[in-house]
Amino acid sequence: MISPRRPRVASGHFEALVPPPPRDFAARAVRVFVPHDGAEVRPALFLLDGQDVFSDDRAAGGGWGVDQAVAGLDLRRTAAPLVVAIPRDDARRAQELTPWPLEGGRGGEAFAFLHWVARAVVPAVRQRYALPDGALGAVLGGASWGGLCALCGHFAYPQVFGGALCLSPALWVGDFAARPWLEAQPTPAFSRIYLDCGAREAEGRMLPPARDLAHRLRARGYPRGQLGWRPDPRGEHTEDHWRRRLPRALRFMFRRG
């Protein structure tokens, strides 16, 4: 018996969107990938540090291939998200993406940047595209500093972002300040978190705090359907490895039902 062919995203196209400029940060356009899947309403994935997340960004030194990963989804089981890539300001990346200062006093302005994402970027996207209402329609994602920032953004704005897709989150920022901060935040009414980390990242130093975070979220009451934890024994801190892990992250985050 021949099994039916799995429905997938036929293709997609890119659009530019210019949200209102952020206060104290550089103005920028965001790049949006719109899947051609026939859906009238779809959730959106907002990616921080988003200048190298699409397949045609690889010439710039990396590329997660998010558009290719979305195109590979089985639409019977997974919704194809709109992907909103928010590029960084190279000169102020540390300020934008670290919620607490680094050694030497750099950075620590991510909560102000997240305010702009939640209050300006998300409304601009909702004005142009049809997303599900409320937190169900938006997920925040990123890798490294962006992964940490996405996690904090979900808990800081739970009514805006219903989930966080966190690849290799840099939990060491601010002498592991995320741990007590997260413990002080109420659990969002709707929350889905994908968390991963590679055993070879930072010579093995990044995996233990990520595993500890997963254990703490489980103890907080997150069931497996709301928390996807993936330790990667071969994982390194590179775009190639995030690209390899991304399809599973998308399947977890945007699964139907």
Q: 249: pLDDT confidence band, cut at 50, 70 and 90?
A: very high
Q: Average pLDDT for residues 50-76, to the nearest whole number?
A: 84
pLDDT tens by residue, 144-179: 999 999 999 999 999 999 999 999 999 999 999 999
Q: What percent of the chain has pLDDT over 70?
A: 95
Residue 181 has pLDDT above 90, yes or no: yes
CB-hemisphere CA count at 13 Å for 146? 24
% of the chain surpassing 90 pLDDT: 87
Q: Are strands 12-17 and 30-35 parallel, antiparallel or unpaired?
A: antiparallel
**Cα distance between the two ends of the chain:** 28
pLDDT of residue 8: 75
Q: What is the pLDDT of residue 59?
A: 52
Q: Which residues contact 210 (CB under 8 A, 6 or more apart)?
A: 168, 169, 171, 195, 196, 197, 231
Under the banding of pLDDT at 50, 70 and 90, the label for residue 5 is low
Does the structure show a pLDDT above 50 at 183? yes
**Residue 199 pLDDT:** 97
pLDDT band at 1 (very low <50, low <70, confident <90, very high): very low
**Residues contacting 129, CB < 8 A, separation 6+:** 32, 34, 42, 44, 82
Average pLDDT of the chain, as a whole number: 93
Cβ atoms 41, 134 nearer than 8 A: no
d(C-alpha 137, C-alpha 103), whole Å:
36
Average pLDDT over every residue of 118-131:
98
Residue-level pLDDT at 57:
74
CA 178/CA 189 separation, integer angstroms = 20
pLDDT for res 58 = 62
For 185-197, how does the pLDDT look when each residue is reduced to its tens digit (9 = 90+)?
A: 999 999 999 999 9
| pTM over cut 0.75 | yes
Between CA 170 and CA 37 the distance in angstroms is 34
Least confident of 10-19, 52-61, 228-237: 52-61
Tell whether the model's pLDDT for residue 250 goes beyond 50: yes
- 42: three-class secondary structure by DSSP: coil
Q: pLDDT band at 4, cuts 50/70/90?
A: low
- pLDDT of 3 higher than 50: no
Question: Distance between CA 38 and CA 53 in Å, rounded?
Answer: 23
pLDDT for 63 equals 82
Check whether 79 has a pLDDT greater than 60.
Answer: yes
- Domain-by-domain residue ranges, the chain? 12-253
Fold classified for 12-253: Rossmann fold (3.40.50)
Contact 241, 198 (CB under 8 A): yes
Is a pLDDT exceeding 70 seen at residue 62? no
